[in-house]
DNA sequence: TTCGTCATGTAATGGGTTACATGATTAC
DNA sequence: GTAATCATGTAACCCATTACATGACGAA
């Protein structure tokens, strides 16, 4: 469960929550705003859009929602969220829990924290932290086990990975305490 | 060109350069030592091993190369590099250049820097640095362009990504100056 | 006139994960 | 006795990238 496609659905719905957009712009925002989808291709995005359309979560915006097409006469198809789509997005945001989440899942869900309940936010942040701590434990154990047969470069790479992960844990810790303050 | 499979070939060859190993252990080291392959499955590794065997780059080690099987009677197949395999690895390490490299390619090649010529090391490090700087430029431009419609959480995620990338650039800078000192 | 950007799509290929199959041993 | 780890593999499914097709505008 929880395929990559579901995450893309969620991300698209979330971006369209802000403002209606057409596919081309949607892709750019997915590539930059969200850490994941760094190399998302049209071959993935457009079929996804068609699917969301079929499910009734988005619709083609009629009328001049955005300014008229600049720079191209090719018809732009602007999509907007339907009521069902809003509901769907909220359901996904509300029931989110880091059951075997990777980096991408966290990044995307974090990007939409503004529309996520505090309780869920806390659960996600804490889940993320424990996953990173597991990863740290594995890295540290490996560097102890292979200390002798590891050259300087391998060691440097490992140390850098370790430090980055530690920094992210501290970052999460700050967010978690801030979140606890909000809750109380 | 330069498929994921090639990278796996390179990584396996590189690990076997250190010491003969069987598949199960190989996978563990690929999952921890190298940043990439964090979730490499046997479904990818064993076919790869078979392929390398067919190409004559690795062979089944005969005799008691490793201690006898502990904890299992199931026959372990220990692989070792052939002369051709060593040559192949060295060719891949020597002609490496970051033409459209992602994070994984860099990590794996970096892990084997000890067996990479200084000139190539420098080229790789500098290539990596410019890729990260491109990424930074994109992030920064995006955060300027979308400043208003970005909520606090999205902004925090973006800032964290920016800072991590900046740290990695500084890390690379240190490595580059160290490398230049070696060369001269 | 050519390159880059805007803009939307489709088809095929490649390949990685998931799930399955097997089986012995150690530790609780 | 049962869960976890060791250990090797195969087959199918999923799906993401890649390459292709189309077409116009602005700038150098």
pLDDT at B13: 96
pLDDT for res B1: 42
Measure in Å the smallest separation between the Cα of B139 and chain A Cα atoms. Answer: 6
**To which residue do tokens 């209606």 refer?**
A20
B153 closest CB neighbour out of A111, A138, A167: A111
The CA–CA distances, whole Å, from B48 to B2, B21, B81, B132 equal: 15, 14, 14, 31
* Residue B39 Cβ under 7 A from any strand C atom: yes
Strands A58-60 and B21-22: unpaired
> Which H or E run contains A18?
helix A4-18
Rounded Cα gap, residues B34 and B22, in angstroms: 17
Per-residue pLDDT of chain A (184 residues; tens, 9 = 90+): 457 788 999 999 999 999 999 999 999 999 887 777 888 999 999 999 999 999 999 999 975 544 444 444 457 899 999 999 999 999 999 988 877 788 889 999 999 999 999 999 999 999 999 989 988 888 888 888 777 778 899 889 989 999 999 999 999 999 999 999 998 8
* Nearest residue to B153 (alpha-carbon basis) of A106, A14, A105, A110: A110
Q: Which nucleotides of C are covered by protein (CB under 7 A)?
A: 5-12, 14-19, 23-26
Q: Which residues of A touch B (CB under 8 A)?
A: 18-19, 29, 32-33, 35, 107, 110-114, 138-139, 142, 146, 149-154, 156-158, 160-161, 164, 167-168, 171, 175
| Chain A residues close to B156, C-beta within 8 Å | 175
Over the stretch B122-150, which tens digit does the pLDDT of each residue have?
A: 999 999 999 899 888 888 888 887 777 78
Using one digit for the tens of pLDDT, what is the confidence trace for B24-35?
Answer: 999 999 988 777
Query: Does A99 contact strand C, using a CB cutoff of 7 Å?
Result: no
Nearest to B133 by CA among B82, B173, B99, B83: B173
Question: Which residue is it, tokens 């640095």?
Answer: B129
What is the per-residue pLDDT for B74?
Answer: 56
| B19 contacts A153? CB cut-off 8 A | no
User: Which pLDDT belongs to residue B12?
Assistant: 96
Instruction: Report the DSSP beta bridge partners of residue B78.
Output: B22
Cβ(B75)–Cβ(B11) below 8 Å: no
B51 CB inside 7 Å of strand D: no
| Residue ranges for chain B with pLDDT beneath 70 | 1-3, 63-74
H helix and E strand count, chain A: 7, 3
B70: left (phi over 0), alpha (psi -120 to 50) or beta: beta
Contact B33 A167 (CB under 8 A): no
**Spacing of A1 CA from D2 C1' in Å:** 28
Predicted local confidence at residue B5, as pLDDT: 80
Q: Which A residues between 25 and 84 have a beta carbon under 7 A from any strand C atom?
A: 25, 42-43, 46-47, 49-50, 69-72, 74-77
Q: CATH assignment of A3-96?
A: 1.10.10.10
In this complex, do B152 and A33 lie within 8 Å of one another by their Cβ atoms? no
Contact in structure between B57 and B84 (CB atoms under 8 Å) = yes
Best probe of the A interface among B14, B16, B19, B32, by most A CBs < 10 A, is B32
Q: In this complex, which of A142, A156, A164 lies closest to B32 when CB atoms are compared?
A: A142
What are the sequence ranges of the domains in chain B?
A: 3-96, 117-183
pLDDT reported for residue B38: 80
Under a CB-based contact definition with an 8 Å cutoff, are residues B132 and B172 in contact?
yes
For residue B169, give both structure tokens: 């650039």
Alpha helices by DSSP H, A22-151: 23-32, 42-54, 83-94, 103-111, 118-145
- The secondary structure of residue B33, as a DSSP letter, is T
Q: What pLDDT, on a 0 to 100 scale, did the predictor assign at position B47?
A: 95
Quick check: B54 CB within 7 A of strand D? no
Q: Which helix (H) or strand (E) holds B59?
A: strand B58-60
């Amino acid at each position: 469960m929880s395929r990559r496609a579901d995450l893309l659905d969620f991300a698209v719905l979330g971006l369209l929550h802000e403002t209606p957009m057409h596919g081309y712009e949607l892709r750019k925002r997915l590539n930059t705003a969200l850490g994941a989808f760094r190399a998302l291709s049209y071959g993935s995005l457009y079929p996804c859009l068609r699917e969301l359309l079929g499910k009734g979560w988005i619709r083609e915006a009629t009328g001049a929602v955005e300014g008229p097409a600049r720079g191209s006469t090719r018809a732009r198809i602007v999509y907007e969220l339907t009521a069902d789509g809003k509901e769907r997005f909220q359901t996904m945001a509300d029931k989110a829990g880091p059951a075997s989440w990777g980096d991408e899942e966290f990044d995307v869900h974090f990007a939409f924290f503004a529309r996520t309940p505090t309780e869920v936010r806390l659960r996600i942040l804490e889940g993320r932290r424990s996953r990173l701590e597991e990863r740290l434990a594995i890295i540290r154990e490996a560097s102890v086990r292979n200390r002798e047969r590891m050259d300087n470069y391998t060691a440097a790479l490992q140390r850098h990975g370790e430090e980055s992960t530690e920094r992210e844990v501290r970052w999460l810790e700050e967010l978690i305490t801030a979140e606890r303050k909000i809750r109380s």
